[in-house]
Chains A and B, each alone.
Chain A
Amino acid sequence: MAREAVIVGAGDVPLEDGKVVGGGSVLQVQARAAKAALDDARLSMGDVDGLLVAGLWGVPGPGLLPSVTLGEYLGIAPRFADTTNIGGSAFEAHVAHAAMAIEKGYCDVALIVYGSTQRSERSRTLGGRPSILTMQFENVWGIPQPVGGYAMAARRHMHEFGTTEEQLAEIAVATRKWASLNPAATKRDPITIYDVMNSMPIADPLKLLDCCLVTDGAGAIVMTTADNARAHGAKAIHLRGYGEAHTHWSIGTMPDLARLTAAEIASRHAFEMAGVSHDAIDLVECYDSFTITVLMTLEALGFCKPGEGGAFVSGQRTAPGGAFPLNTNGGGLSYCHPGMYGMFLLIEAVRQLRGEAGERQVDNVNTALVHGTGGTLSSGATVILANH
């Protein structure tokens, strides 16, 4: 019988005011998250023979070979490694790559890990990428990275479709409502559209409350075969479909700034593989680096037509109790955003599919779509997950 890869573990580390509780190096926090996910899976570190890592840590230095360094630190000798780094969507791609490796028999237990201590280290800045190779045509203009690129996409979307700043604010407000239901979220106080509109201007038309948080964070996902999951009594989350794509990194070469081409390609393949329609999706977790990211993603995933994202999110339709539950942990906008957020989309989807999301649990979630976006609207990776 064919091997089926499933997700059996999800874990993260507690945060307080956006910082890892108790502190720790970026290796320590990844080890803690890995152990939490393995405990959740009823597996141990010694079972891990596949290691998938992407990060922004230890560069230049040990982070140049992140799986090699992390494998050493964890005391394992994985026979499958994947350090695909396509930005914050890397972990959705890792789930797909791990599934292919497991189903081919190339490994049996895959551990996907991410960690960042950027908040504690105060290391996030708006400039600072070396002006070499492709970036020599970006940095010289003083474009704030990455917000400037997203701002230009928002401006173009408004120009083509009449999208408004108030519609973008709807997303920030709805996401904060979800965060208020998540005890682990960094920002839980309610906000209004007025608050978003009047928050500090960053890069027109984006304002502070259109932008994700800057926090620490660490998380991990464990995958194995469905047979192995059954043998260990772990709750299996099934992978119905996946897809990924990337189109550019330099914002000047993005094919169309009002359309998220990478998400269109990735999600089309995921839906085809899953053989389900949009109606079958009970819950969506999508990358919210900025409010505009969400709006363009919903259009690209096909939940509404191009240009209709503004109307789609209006009237708090994505808030708790709304017609379209979205980013139910409070998202990168209000829960946490440790640089590459895609890991936390997966963890939340797993918890919702298992019915373990507490006060924010959405009723009757059986199929969830997770979509990560990385770079500057550069990459997209979709996974469709089910609890049956």
Chain B
Amino acid sequence: MSDTYQKPQPVIDPGTKPFWDAAREHRLSIPRCNSCGQHHFYPRELCPHCHSDDLEWSDVSGKGEIYTFTIARKPAGPVFADDVPYVIAMIALDEGPRMLTNIITDDVEQVAIGDRVTVRYDDVTPELTLPKFTLDKD
């Protein structure tokens, strides 16, 4: 399967490995700050809100709403050509942070800002799972 998956794959590093490891186990895990209580994404060494280094990984609900999105009518390179049109969306997770992802839907035209969404894990290779989202109204 990994031989046939031609799209970009993350070059996972020590700072991001817990996120991708959790995704492979179908969990959405992001850092939470023990100092200010806020979550953030993407994962960092210092809280971007209060700059504390007292952080811990925290499983979140995988629910949120669409903050904004675009429908790609031209692909981001030939490897995405078969997917056009596809939706890239920015989700405002219920825990606060925003996260870029894809919306999986048969009808891209119905996607709207404010739509409620839920994570759905796409195991694209044995080593890589991408947390994508579906519309609750679908």
Comparing A1-9, A201-209, A225-233, A317-325, the segment that makes contact with chain B is A201-209
User: Which A residues are in CB contact (< 8 Å) with B60?
Assistant: none
Residues A252 and B41 in contact in the complex (CB < 8 Å), given A131-B10, A155-B70, A203-B72:
yes
Q: Is B61 an interface residue (CB 8 A)?
A: no
Does the CB pair A257–B67 fall under 8 Å? yes
Shortest A127–chain B CB gap in Å is: 3
Q: Is B12 an interface residue (CB 8 A)?
A: yes
CA distance A111 to B94 in the complex (A): 50
Q: Is B100 an interface residue (CB 8 A)?
A: yes
Interface residues on B, range: 35 or more
User: Which A residues are in CB contact (< 8 Å) with B12?
Assistant: 136
Q: Is A145 an interface residue (CB 8 A)?
A: yes
Shortest A260–chain B CB gap in Å is: 15
Does the CB pair B7–A140 fall under 8 Å? yes
* A134 in complex: contacting residue of B9, B42, B99, B130, CB < 8 Å: B42
CA distance A156 to B68 in the complex (A): 6
CA distance A134 to B12 in the complex (A): 10
Does the CB pair B11–A152 fall under 8 Å? no
Interface residues of B in 35-91 (CB under 8 A from A): 41-42, 48, 67-77, 79-80, 83, 86, 88, 90
Residues A253 and B75 in contact in the complex (CB < 8 Å), given A133-B13, A155-B68, A155-B69:
no
Does the CB pair B100–A138 fall under 8 Å? yes
CA distance A131 to B72 in the complex (A): 19
Does the CB pair B70–A252 fall under 8 Å? no
CA distance A202 to B114 in the complex (A): 23
Closest-by-CB residue of B relative to A150 is B70
Does the CB pair B42–A127 fall under 8 Å? no
CA distance A250 to B44 in the complex (A): 13
Q: Is A198 an interface residue (CB 8 A)?
A: no
Does the CB pair A126–B100 fall under 8 Å? no
Q: Is B101 an interface residue (CB 8 A)?
A: yes
Shortest B124–chain A CB gap in Å is: 9
Interface residues of A in 146-169 (CB under 8 A from B): 148, 151-153, 155-156, 159
Residues A140 and B113 in contact in the complex (CB < 8 Å), given A203-B70, A203-B74:
no
Does the CB pair B88–A152 fall under 8 Å? yes
User: Which A residues are in CB contact (< 8 Å) with B9?
Assistant: 131, 140
Chain A contact residues: helix, strand, loop or mixed: mixed
Does the CB pair A203–B100 fall under 8 Å? no
Does the CB pair B77–A128 fall under 8 Å? yes
Q: Is B8 an interface residue (CB 8 A)?
A: yes
Does the CB pair A143–B8 fall under 8 Å? no
* B72 in complex: contacting residue of A133, A138, A142, A257, CB < 8 Å: A142
User: Which B residues are in CB contact (< 8 Å) with A144?
Assistant: 72, 74-76
User: Which B residues are in CB contact (< 8 Å) with A148?
Assistant: 70, 72, 76, 88
Residue of B77, B83, B86, B88 most packed against chain A (CB within 10 A): B88
Does the CB pair A252–B77 fall under 8 Å? no
Closest-by-CB residue of A relative to B109 is A204
CA distance A130 to B10 in the complex (A): 9
Shortest B74–chain A CB gap in Å is: 5
Does the CB pair A140–B130 fall under 8 Å? yes
User: Which B residues are in CB contact (< 8 Å) with A134?
Assistant: 42
CA distance A36 to B16 in the complex (A): 48
Residue of A130, A131, A155, A201 most packed against chain B (CB within 10 A): A155
Closest-by-CB residue of A relative to B102 is A141
Closest-by-CB residue of A relative to B15 is A133
Interface residues of A in 251-269 (CB under 8 A from B): 251-253, 257
CA distance A125 to B16 in the complex (A): 27
* A253 in complex: contacting residue of B8, B13, B42, CB < 8 Å: B42
User: Which B residues are in CB contact (< 8 Å) with A251?
Assistant: 90, 100
Q: Is B27 an interface residue (CB 8 A)?
A: no
Residues A152 and B90 in contact in the complex (CB < 8 Å), given A128-B77, A131-B10, A143-B100:
yes
Given contacts A126-B77, A131-B10, A202-B73, 10 further A-B contacts (CB under 8 A): A126-B74, A127-B79, A137-B16, A140-B9, A140-B130, A141-B100, A152-B68, A152-B69, A152-B88, A205-B70
Pairs across A and B, CB under 8 Å, 30 listed? A130-B11, A131-B8, A133-B13, A136-B12, A138-B100, A140-B10, A140-B130, A141-B100, A141-B101, A141-B102, A142-B76, A142-B77, A144-B72, A144-B74, A148-B88, A152-B70, A152-B90, A155-B70, A156-B113, A200-B73, A201-B73, A201-B74, A203-B70, A203-B74, A204-B73, A251-B90, A251-B100, A252-B41, A252-B90, A253-B48
B interface, CB within 8 angstroms of A: 7-13, 16, 41-42, 48, 67-77, 79-80, 83, 86, 88, 90, 98-102, 113-114, 130
A interface, CB within 8 angstroms of B: 125-128, 130-134, 136-145, 148, 151-153, 155-156, 159, 200-206, 250-253, 257
